[in-house]
Chains A and B, each alone.
Chain A
Amino acid sequence: MSASSLPQSSPQPPIVSARGVVKRYGQTVALAGLDVDIGPGITGLLGSNGAGKTTFLSLMLGLRTRDAGELTVLGEDPSTAGLRIRARIGYAPEHHDLPAELSAADLVRHLGEMHLLPPRAAMQRANDALWLVGLGEERFRHVGTMSTGQRQRVKLAAAISHDPDLVLLDEPTDGLDPVQRTEMLALIRRIGSEFGMHIVVSSHHLEEVERICDAVVIVEGGELRHAGTMADLQQGPEGLVVEVDERTEELAKILRERGFEVAMSDGVLLLRAADGVNDAVRDAVADLGIGLRRLGPRGRTLEDLYLGAGS
């Protein structure tokens, strides 16, 4: 299955394009022919532990070689142009282990230099990035004395200080309390929207992806289960959802008799789209003299989709 997280009408080329990507570790298949296009903006890479997310990130970075398939990142193949691509990528790993004796400013500056910034620019950019992530006042503190939340911010600052085109964030809210998580998500959203960096956020927190991402890619068992924009996702299948105060089954029977396809789920009626369906629901409810609690288009949440993908 080939899928894309780009809007169908998007004129822009994908940031990441995978075709039949296979990666095995011995007998274990981590990616089993992944076909997906990741577009501009912020994309959530969802999947349970062991789904293949981190393997996919490592292939994007060119740190592992795929066993089959084609992969391009920012228009180039990471297996042959890894150094060039990695110079244009910022990466924040999942783990929180950073050199404890370095100050945040020194660490971010050093990694900026390693990403080909001249020394003076690296120092300036490290300060700017640390201010941006809210660690301006703390930038000369040793990383070892910082909280998990602050270290996550240091990693984010290090990932963006060299001004990459693409930022890969692996579980960026791991270990954060709810307030810190909200702040971090707002920060990621801001970096993606205001500074024009494309971001891929690997996560298994559905609500986070729903809150900040423009698109989502769901991977399970090394295979693609869904890819699309959040707008497309929320539209869901065409149809209506109807919820009434009482006599739900009678309403369903009337609508079926009038030729509409009706299903029931947890006391809610789901109607397939058809001409005149809105008017039919209105008339049937009026005929029965019952209260109409909800009448709206059928949409899906990310949870619906994810659980569907998982099953």
Chain B
Amino acid sequence: MSSPGTQGTQTTQDSRLFDLGYRRYDGPRTEPISGIATLAVFTAKRVLGLGRGGRHKVLPAITLVIAYAPALISVAVAALADGTLEEDFISYGDYMFFIASALALFSALVAPEALCPDRRTGMLGLYLAGPLDRNRYLVAKWGGVLAVMLAITLGPLLFMFAAYVVAGYGPTAGETPGLLLRILAAGVLTALLYTSLSLAVSSFTTRRAAAAVAIILLLFIPPIVSESAVESADAPPELGLIAFPFVAGELSFRIFGEMPEGDGPPVTEVSTGLISAAVAGFIVGGLFVCWIRYRRIEGFR
């Protein structure tokens, strides 16, 4: 068989071997908007470590295990109890609070993979030299990370909801739409919050490790500072709104109409309006920071 790159046709008595080699492409092309979907899927696969070496799969796998394990255990217990449990194994609000640990891990250690290497390796320049502008690039990156975040926030809750319904612990028919809406709202808003935080911080550095450290500091320092100030210096509880994890956790409790166990963070005393404003501020602020950063980054070199 002749090798690709050569032209010609070989004919024998009973067969004909075509070797067309390299040639121009005259087939169909996709719409420019499809580039966003392509890059979003590529990004989601990369942050999950799909198509990459084993070490890149470890952290995403741990994250997913943390996120889904309570749902699986809860469902298993419900199934084994065979309808004799008096209440849910774990409430949806508590579950979202638990998932926050998986989200923190993912935001700090995995999600920066979406943005940082593109600038370090020059892929950003290659993307922007194609039919993709900076805004579309960011939409694709946001979409890819958000999809994975949704798999962490929404996936376990919907799985638990479906399993409870099947096991006979589900809500009544009248309660179902409302509960589904709450699950949807909590899952989507929490995913948006963590996506916004992670990508905004990642937009400042080409180094994943630097982004990870910065995100971890942002997740731990403001809660410690605000809680200390409120408890020791009689600062107003609204100071807790600077703490990203407090706002994200309180959001879920408010959506599901639950209260955290124990005293809870300072923001439990803050009005729902202010909590909502803080959530919107974190999401929109993160988007804005990312957008501004990428307007200034020189992708072409």
Contacts and interface: CB of A to CB of B under 8 A. Distances in A.
Given A63-B129, A87-B32, A117-B25, A98 B5 contact: no
B300 A64 contact: yes
Given A83-B133, A116-B30, A132-B5, A125 B52 contact: no
Nearest to B24: A163
Interface in A96-147: 97-101, 106, 110-111, 113-118, 121, 125, 127-129, 131-132, 136
Interface residue SS majority, chain B: loop
A19 interface: no
B132 A83 contact: yes
A114 B39 contact: yes
Nearest to A191: B22
A122 to B, nearest CB: 9
Given A63-B300, A136-B3, A121 B25 contact: yes
B4 A101 contact: no
A115 B31 CA distance: 10
Contacts of B38: 110, 113-114
B24 to A, nearest CB: 5
B29 interface: yes
A55 to B, nearest CB: 9
A1 to B, nearest CB: 27
Contacts of A87: 29, 32, 130-131
Given A101-B52, A131-B3, A163 B25 contact: yes
B8 interface: no
A117 B127 CA distance: 14
Interface in A57-93: 58, 61, 63-64, 82-84, 86-87, 89, 91, 93
**B interface residue count range (under 10 / 10 to 19 / 20 to 34 / 35 or more):** 35 or more
A95 B301 contact: yes
Nearest to B118: A99
B5 A131 contact: yes
B126 interface: yes
B283 to A, nearest CB: 27
Interface string B45-74: 000000111001000000000000000000
Nearest to A57: B300
Given A87-B131, A114-B130, A136-B4, A196 B24 contact: yes
A93 B132 contact: no
Contacts of B130: 86-87, 91, 111, 114-115
B122 A114 contact: no
B27 interface: yes
A158 interface: yes
B22 A195 contact: yes
Interface in B83-132: 117, 120-123, 125-132
A115 B29 CA distance: 9
B25 A162 contact: yes
Contacts of B128: 63
Contact of A99 (B22, B34, B121): B121
Contacts of B5: 131-132, 136
Contact of B35 (A61, A93, A106, A116): A116
Contacts of A116: 29-32, 34-35, 131
A83 B131 contact: yes
Contact of A128 (B22, B28, B42, B299): B22
A118 B127 contact: no
A195 B24 contact: yes
Given A87-B32, A114-B38, A116-B34, A98 B4 contact: no
Interface string B257-301: 000000000000000000000000000000000000000000111
A121 to B, nearest CB: 5
A163 to B, nearest CB: 4
Contacts of A89: 129
Given A98-B123, A163-B25, A195-B22, A93 B301 contact: yes
A266 B25 CA distance: 54
A86 B29 contact: no
A64 B125 CA distance: 12
B36 to A, nearest CB: 10
Nearest to B37: A113
Contacts of B301: 93-95
B120 A118 contact: no
A87 B125 CA distance: 14
Interface in B9-32: 21-25, 27-32
Contacts of B53: 101
Contacts of A117: 25, 29-30
Contacts of A99: 117, 121, 123
A119 to B, nearest CB: 8
Given A83-B133, A131-B22, A132-B4, A114 B35 contact: yes
A93 B28 contact: no
16 contacts: A63-B299, A86-B130, A87-B131, A93-B125, A95-B122, A98-B123, A100-B121, A101-B52, A101-B56, A114-B130, A116-B30, A118-B27, A118-B28, A158-B126, A163-B24, A195-B22
**The 5 residue pairs across chains A and B that have the minimum distance between CB atoms:** A163-B25, A87-B131, A131-B4, A91-B129, A97-B122
Given A84-B32, A87-B131, A99-B121, 9 more contacts: A61-B300, A87-B29, A93-B122, A93-B300, A95-B122, A110-B38, A116-B131, A118-B27, A163-B25
Interface of B: 3-5, 21-25, 27-32, 34-35, 38-39, 42, 51-53, 56, 117, 120-123, 125-133, 299-301
